[in-house]
Amino acid sequence: MSTPFYVSPQQAMADRAEYARKGIARGRSLVVLQYADGIVFVGENPSRALHKFSEIYDRIGFAAAGKYNEYENLRIGGVRYADLRGYTYDRDDVTARGLANVYAQTLGTIFSSAAEKPYEVELVVAEVGETPEGDQIYRLPHDGSIVDEHGSVAVGGNAEQISSYLDQRHRDGMTLAEALKLAVQALSRDTNGSEREIPAERLEVAVLDRTRPQKRKFKRIVRRRLARLLEGDDTAGAGEAEGSEEDQGSEEE
């Protein structure tokens, strides 16, 4: 009778973590930054239908890097949790911290289970407050841990290099155009330090704008408004007159 192959628990967990990290690194990076009037999400995404950023609830946004089918399942679960909690209790009881805890439990359970592979995803859950001091940004790696971020965060691809670039240049009180320009500059840097151009049509951009009069603060920025912001025109901010935000995020000019 052959002896069963033995792998120590430490080695097994290290292998699972390495597997998840490699899967996440194969995806394109995205960044989430605070600016004066809210939080902006920026990522390179050539698809017009498969979004990296989505609205979860009134003041809460969701960003993800990695395998689309896995983070889409998590997004849907988050929407259901938020809707149920808001309906059962109160809309103010739905918070980014509560949602991050739910995601952490799910990712942690999957990561530690030997019956299935770990999710190849890294999430960001953000909530815009009444003031910049009330903004919340949580990063959730593949293992279900929670990291409370401030100012800026990058996930996916070469996130470590991008985070270092943002940490050196991001500042409080930036306008939306300034934050967007910084995000694109960070995303356009290759691993060897050289820069490449990312066309506007390959960018996915969304904001949680605290100045919107509606309860729902999430808004996508596309087409002419995005082009104007990339040119440095702050009058093209997301607080302009606009229609309601649907689940796929159509943008009214």
Q: What is the DSSP letter of 151?
A: S
Residue 114 pLDDT: 79
Token pair 């995806």 is found at: 27
What amino acid occupies position 92? D
Whether the full predicted model's pTM is greater than 0.75, yes or no, is yes
Which CATH number covers residue 152? 3.60.20.10
Q: Which helix (H) or strand (E) holds 62?
A: strand 60-66
Assigned domain for 252 exists = no
Q: What are phi and psi of 96, to 5 degrees?
A: -65, -35
Assigned domain for 215 exists = yes
pLDDT band at 252 (very low <50, low <70, confident <90, very high): very low
Residue 4 pLDDT: 62
pLDDT in tens, 153-197: 999 988 999 999 999 999 999 999 999 999 999 999 866 667 888
pLDDT in tens, 192-234: 667 888 999 999 999 999 999 999 999 999 889 999 999 887 7
Dihedral over alpha carbons 152, 44, 231, 37 (to 10 degrees): -30
In order of 72, 158, 181, 189, 248, the CA distances from 54 in angstroms are 10, 22, 21, 25, 8
CA distance 217 to 60: 8
Residue pair 146/138 in contact (Cβ under 8 Å)? The answer is yes
Domain hosting residue 223, numbered range: 10-236
Q: What are phi and psi of 24, to 5 degrees?
A: -65, -40
CA distance 45 to 24: 15
| Structural domain total, the chain | 1
Residue 253 pLDDT: 32
pLDDT in tens, 11-31: 888 989 999 999 998 888 999
Assigned domain for 248 exists = no
Assigned domain for 241 exists = no
Higher pLDDT among residues 69 and 8, named by residue: 69
The structure tokens listed for 151 are: 């100012």
Assigned domain for 244 exists = no
Measured over the CA atoms of residue 194, residue 199, residue 203 and residue 209, the dihedral's sign is positive
Residue 190 pLDDT: 66
Assigned domain for 4 exists = no
DSSP-based three-state secondary structure for 122: strand
Assigned domain for 124 exists = yes
| Mean pLDDT value across residues 44-69 | 94
pLDDT band at 235 (very low <50, low <70, confident <90, very high): confident
